[in-house]
A and B are shown apart, each in its own frame.
Chain A
Amino acid sequence: MKNNKKYWKGIEELTNDIEFVKNAEKEFPDFLPVSDKKGNKNEEGGNSRRDFLKLMGFGMAAVSLAACETPVKKAIPYLNKPENIDPSIPNIYASTYMKDGEYCSILVKTREGRPIKIEGNTMSNVTKGGTSARVQASLLGLYDLSREQFKEGFLKGGKSIDVEKADAEIKRALQGAQGTIYIVTPTIASPSTKQVVKEFAAKYPNTKHVTYDAVSSYGILKANEESFGVYALPTYDFSKAETFVSVNADFLGTWLSSIEYSRQYAKTRKVNDKKRTMSRHYHFESGMSLSGANADHRIQIKPSQEGLVIAALYNEVMGGKQAPTVEDAKLAAKIKQAGEELKANRGKSLLVCGSNDPSVQVLVNAINFELGNYDSTIDLTRPTYLKLGNDEEVNKMIDAIAGGRAGAVMFLDTNPVYDHPRGKDLAEGLKKVALSISFSNTIDETTTLCKYITPDHHYLESWNDAEARAGMYSLAQPTISPIFKTRQFQDSLLVWSDNNTTYYDYLRSYWKDNLYKGEAGGFENFWVQVLHDGVYEPQGWEATLPTTDEETAEEVPAAIEAGGGGVDIQGDAAKAISDIRSVYKPGGKMELALYQKVGIGSGAMANIPWLQELPDPITKATWDNYLCISISDAKSMEVKQGDIVKVTANGHTVEVPVLVQPGQARGTVSLALGYGRTKAGKVADGVGANAYPFAKKNGLATMYAAFDVAIKKTEKKDQIAQTQTHQTIMGRDIIREADLKTYKDEKVFAKAMEDKYAIMIHTNEGLKKPTEISLWNGHEEEYNRNHWWGMAIDMNSCIGCSACLIGCQTENNVPVVGKEEVINRREMHWIRIDRYYSSIIPKDEIEEAKTIDGYKEMENASEDPEVVFQPMMCQHCNNAPCETVCPVLATTHSSEGLNQMTYNRCIGTRYCANNCPYKVRRFNWFNYTNEGQFKDVNYMSFTDLGKMVLHPDVTVRSRGVMEKCSFCIQRIQQSKLTAKTEKRKIKDGEVKTACQQACPADAIVFGDMNDPDSEIVKVLGIEKEVKKVKDDTELSVVMKEPRAFHVLNEINVKPNVTYLTKIRNKKV
């Protein structure tokens, strides 16, 4: 039906308004006339030229304004705000790091749901808030570009397979497995995981769990079992010792629980007014290690002398001559000296040895036992479970696999094809295994050879627990929901054992059944508390010590019972001695020692560019492994740094460049493990050469050395990317050190520490020190008003481990620049650890040696140098030379003593960097965030995945601007805001810089120098005096601590970073 209703456009149509009728037929109305200045409308109601211009002007302005705004991409606001996430406020979760036998209780800082920083957990009594470079950097593994995405499920033979289908196939294959089912894992410290494995083994009775550590400590484990019946590492307490002797154990760098040892060690090395004593450290080794560099006495030995040194110490301590001794008289004298000191400090000494030879370790146990150290510095009643790898079983497994006797094999977090000396055999054998499964989420060397890949979560995405030390538990919780389609290893095992609980429930019920002791508040409270703290360290604890003999595993070994809390020693010293006699014979012309670098470690995390670019604390080299050779051998073999040589030993050959290393024992060369990866990812592939095959089987255990190595020079050359190429301090007063004897006498020490200016300056007020004259007014007034931030670095505590460097890099979005750019000397690190060797000119002759030839001599490091580490970052000078020269005021001084950098304002003249006496400013030579050449190494700024690691509070710097340490100003600011909302002043210790927080040795103290109760004021003995100068009053700040000094004090830039003199405890 037709609708005849009439709808009016408005009342005007109904009334036939004249205005309306006039315009009714026009489809578009006229523009509204724009009023002219006087408010008169244009008479015709049309558009005047002026209106047109106005509208056009507006239009153009609007269009150009709209064009100015960068389109916002992919910023998706929360539809419903999650309860626990406030944008811009970090959430911190406690978790646990456990990899390659390194344990660390950590706090993970997340922002908007993504982990951005790892800190140490101070509630843990094991690591006590310390971290290492590797722990700090492990964060980036989460966002590693080489991680497979597993978009369509798991992988089978390189192709995607549905998860359920894979599970069904694997289960069927497991049931039908002909032969042993091997589960190869690294040391599992997680009690619940062990339970999961056991459950799996119950389901498939022919299961064999093989624990495999890439770098094994089987020697110690085996020896402990022999001596005490305990198959575990002891717990060392370096802080109780007054004399350490270490034979090839880099306990500050890579040996066992180095974070923990670093803290304990530093404790014994700290001195102050009240404590003018410190420990003495003897170190026997071939290549220069981090620990060796810190030692008071470092003695060079060859790998073939390692056993003999221990044997000689045994003779010395036991007072007999049963064991063979070293022939070298000098070395023997040093051993005698070390032995005597050990004896003199019974119960307060410690002998550690990095050897993986059980017979050597049996003697070490005997010596420590004889010295009574098992009651104090070594605790075997509470052993450490960081490394339980069994070399014998690994070898047996490889035999089985190679012989085609294995039914199935599963690899969790291990890569033996790459890092076992018999990796080749294993690779061949894997082809014969019917069912091979890898749990790796990156396609590494071993994983590529496996049939199924059922990827595990990254540890930051996982639930887990750990018992790093008997009775000291910790939890790991996911800090982000799994980024890719992965499934936790434990879940996989549970599924395959037909257990339908998830691992999370399993973990909870394990804790409820086994660890919860009925604490008040019920299990839920207990669980939440442990989850919050990250650690659970109950007081009462019952010993259940592991042995390899599974039948007696549950019983407490007799040796420990007998000791009544302590231990009693068994073990056949005589047999050990005869073994040593047969193994440690003079080797060939050259011997090879294999070692781990502080950054790369075993090589499992080699694809993390932060670690690749971490300058090795000793060699300051990045992005490579190289053959360290002594100065005199380099001379006699006519090789120079960078020459590529062919190294052959134990049937393996690699080509690596040479690095001339002061302190390397004559007749030895060192090569780092962890390089030469082929399937790690774009970062690590092809970097360096694989040194694992050089390790050989010595009896039961793997020996990380070769007694005879052939080195042949080739014509090729390579440049090693070092961040520091000059080795000595050239006799300059930039590092201060003294011996303990001097330090003990206050007056003598004060005299020794006086500023050694060669000159005083003539002024109209008489002779003055260079530090007493200044062009500038100073900032003291300001400092008196508000905060005055300062830092103190104790060079006695700093061991040079470089954890601070990675901490800073993570916190401040410092880019990685790659090998080429490091060779060009353009690394971007805001903090560097300067490492100096003593020169060949003795200290007391340096003043006379300052001649043309003398300076040349001074450049050469001594063959047996003393080493010193000096962390160097922006010194936040009060008379900052950088500030005065910037043409655009891009770098200025804050009222709180900070030297600030305004990136936006910087035009990149680099004048500030030139004028910086400490050379700590870093320039963005390229656009590190989108220049193609950095795509692979600095992927943190290139891909959406990588960008998740960036700290949102810190600007990512663009090309052409200068940057440098900011004293973590974002942290200061955050604490100030928190304090402000709570209407209080900032408390001391509330602001911690990233470097300070990462430091395992507490070498860095940061704080407000205006706060009389602050730690830094106490450490430096800061006293303020108001002086009357003529008619004016002047505030002067005095540091009473005699060890405090400023680097380059003489140029009077008045830094806010103060160093504390290094004290050495040498026996004269």
Chain B
Amino acid sequence: MHDITQDICRQVEAKPTLAWLVAFAISVATLLIGSVALASTWWYGIGVWGLNKTIGWAWDITNFVWWVGIGHAGTLISAILLLFRQKWRTSINRAAEAMTIFAVLCAGSFILMHMGRPWLAHWALPLPNTYGSLWVNFNSPLVWDVFAISTYLTVSVVFWYVGLIPDLATIRDRAKITLEENPLLPTDTAEERKAKKAKRRPISAFMYGLLSFGWEGGAKVWARYEYVALILAGLSTPLVLSVHTIVSFDFATSVIPGWHTTIFPPYFVAGAIFSGFAMVLTLMLITRVVFKLEDYITIEHIEVMNKVIILTGSIVGIAYITEFFVAWYSGVEYESYAFINRAFGPYWWAYAAMMTCNVISPQLFWFRTIRRSLVWTFVLSIVVNIGMWFERFVIIVTSLHRDYLPSSWAMFYPTIYDVGDYVFSFGLFFTLFFLFAKFLPVINMAEVKTVLNSTDEKAKKDAEQRIREEQKQTETETVG
């Protein structure tokens, strides 16, 4: 158990590694570049984007839905898998939850960004005002979005933070020990004081002390902690389903062919889990290498996650085909054309990219070797996220660009600001993620320790292996 604590606290307590510094610097640079684009967008107005009178949403809402989708895995892993007592989740849930929060923040940034007058964003909240009856429109799916996403963000943050408290207390304790071990005595020489000071970590002790709310780890506290975790899991579970359902309502309740589809809620939720898992994989594979956590994020974890990807990828694939069937079966000419246009119109390449990345590529995971291959998993996880971005782009742009009246048919071409604002969200996401990875424990130490039993066998095997190797070595040395 001490090994776990050591391994995980290492990156929090030690000086930043070169790998982390490089990664963090790149993230911050990306964030800054993106900020320039975002500042111009807000200064000049969203006319700097490629939108037009026909296509009122494109990259903005594509990115929004994409990030919200990515934000689904964290809660799914921590809440639903907690309820289903899937113990394997313990080593990834912390990072996944953090990812959820950051992804939702990125998504939120696009809500603000896409507004014509972002400084009035608070009008979308039902705030009391002097006009009395002037309130939000509860008919509007955008208002539902506001509620759904703010609720989701709040619950996710609370859930994540509650889970962090015991680990924060551990780090605090370890920092306090450095103080106790190195008391600054008046008799110390200057050099001794210097040496001691270098070992002391008073700021950590103070900060983590604040953050851990005085957690003492008593049995009663642990019992309450378990209850709270369960309650929050219970609260989050419906949210996993509701958030993307409501996001899909933005489209499903409209009259635009290609949007006006009852299949959207389940299809969006599946897509969200699909892309969320892919993103978790991408990040975990990086974290695993950067922080040397191979013992905690194992091939088994990756394989299980890949299985979820096959499942959700196939659901999404069936949804795509069903949409086509329904469009034909409905006999509605606008609907039929919308789907023909999707696949064969001017944006066929986006549709083809979506199909290849989302439906065909995950099928490779049927092969065990691919499923267990780190390189394949990494590549495919990125491919899936590209595919899911294209899915949202296809739904939003190809439906809008040719809707009812051909006189208004138009094309969408992104500008540098569309790209720049997307870059901003990446910068924000990775900056937050690397800050998290540096200053907070990326793996839930407390929970991982609870599953040690189940990994006992492996530990034993490993130990045996090590002993055997040592023996071999001694043998060879003796021979030598």
Contact = CB atoms under 8 A, between A and B. Distances in A.
B337 A959 contact: no
A435 B116 CA distance: 58
B14 interface: no
A409 interface: no
Interface string B98-130: 000000000000000011111011011000000
B314 to A, nearest CB: 26
Given A826-B52, A852-B344, A926-B45, A919 B115 contact: no
B405 A906 contact: no
Interface stretch (B139-147, B265-273, B274-282): B139-147
Given A910-B116, A919-B403, A960-B116, A887 B408 contact: no
B254 A881 contact: yes
B406 interface: yes
Interface string A871-893: 01000000001001111110000
Interface string B212-225: 00000000000000
A919 B54 contact: yes
Given A889-B134, A917-B255, A925-B51, A910 B56 contact: yes
A909 B142 contact: yes
B136 A889 contact: yes
A761 to B, nearest CB: 10
Contacts of A887: 123-124, 136-137, 140, 142-143, 146
B465 to A, nearest CB: 60
A825 B340 contact: no
Interface string A955-973: 0001111100000000000
A1066 to B, nearest CB: 24
B157 to A, nearest CB: 24
Contacts of A1048: 404-405
B117 A908 contact: yes
A881 B146 contact: no
Interface in B282-320: none
B53 interface: yes
Contact of A959 (B117, B134, B253, B336): B117
Interface residues of A, number: 64
Nearest to A728: B406
B374 interface: no
B226 interface: no
B139 A884 contact: yes
A924 B137 CA distance: 22
A905 B117 CA distance: 10
Contacts of A960: 45-46, 115-117
A914 B400 contact: yes
A907 B117 contact: yes
A852 B340 contact: yes
**Interface hub of A758, A827, A913, A924 (most chain B Cβ within 10 A):** A913
A908 B406 CA distance: 25
A222 to B, nearest CB: 43
Given A758-B333, A907-B123, A825 B47 contact: no
A724 B44 CA distance: 26
Contact of A926 (B47, B141, B344): B47
A204 B297 CA distance: 105
Contacts of A819: none
Contacts of B366: none
Contacts, number: 175
A921 B400 CA distance: 14
Contacts of B45: 924-927, 931, 959-960
A908 B136 CA distance: 14
Given A732-B333, A908-B115, A926-B44, A885 B254 contact: yes
Given A855-B340, A887-B137, A888-B124, A917 B405 contact: yes
B478 interface: no
Contacts of B330: 759
Contacts of A510: none
A835 interface: yes
Interface in B21-69: 44-47, 50-54, 56-57
Interface string B330-344: 111110110011001
A923 interface: yes
Contacts of A134: none
A730 B340 CA distance: 13
Contacts of A927: 45
Contacts of A917: 255-256, 403-405
B137 A726 contact: no
Contacts of A725: 409-410
A821 to B, nearest CB: 8
Interface in A918-939: 918-919, 921-927, 931
A678 interface: no
A103 B143 CA distance: 54
A760 to B, nearest CB: 10
B107 to A, nearest CB: 15
B53 A961 contact: no
B187 interface: no
B64 to A, nearest CB: 11
B332 A832 contact: no
A202 interface: no
Interface string B378-400: 00000000000000000000001
Contacts of A500: none
A836 B143 contact: no
B308 to A, nearest CB: 33
A363 B122 CA distance: 74
A720 interface: no
A931 B45 CA distance: 10
Nearest to B50: A824
Contacts of B116: 906-910, 923-924, 959-962
Contacts of A852: 340, 344
Contact of B140 (A886, A926, A1047): A886
A1053 interface: yes
B54 A732 contact: no
A960 B121 CA distance: 12
A724 B120 CA distance: 33
Nearest to B47: A925
A832 B407 contact: yes
A923 B45 CA distance: 11
A836 B142 contact: no
B135 interface: yes
Nearest to B142: A887
Given A889-B136, A909-B142, A826 B53 contact: yes
B8 to A, nearest CB: 43
Residue among A910, A922, A959, A1048 having the largest count of chain B Cβ atoms under 10 Å: A910
Given A906-B116, A925-B46, A889 B137 contact: yes
Max count, chain A CB within 10 A of own CB: residue among B334, B408, B409: B408
A856 B140 CA distance: 36
Contacts of B54: 825, 919
Contacts of B137: 884, 886-889
Contacts of B333: 731-732, 758, 850
A759 B407 contact: no
A889 B136 CA distance: 6
Contacts of A886: 137, 140, 142
Contact of A907 (B121, B337, B340, B402): B121
Given A832-B407, A907-B123, A908-B116, A919 B340 contact: no
A905 B54 CA distance: 22
15 contacts: A726-B407, A734-B405, A856-B344, A885-B142, A906-B116, A908-B117, A910-B51, A913-B56, A917-B403, A917-B404, A921-B53, A923-B56, A959-B117, A960-B115, A960-B117
Given A909-B114, A913-B53, 10 more contacts: A730-B406, A731-B333, A824-B50, A856-B344, A887-B146, A906-B117, A907-B121, A919-B53, A959-B116, A960-B45
Interface of A: 724-732, 734, 758-759, 821, 824-827, 832, 834-836, 850, 852, 855-856, 870, 872, 881, 884-889, 905-911, 913-915, 917-919, 921-927, 931, 958-962, 1047-1048, 1051, 1053
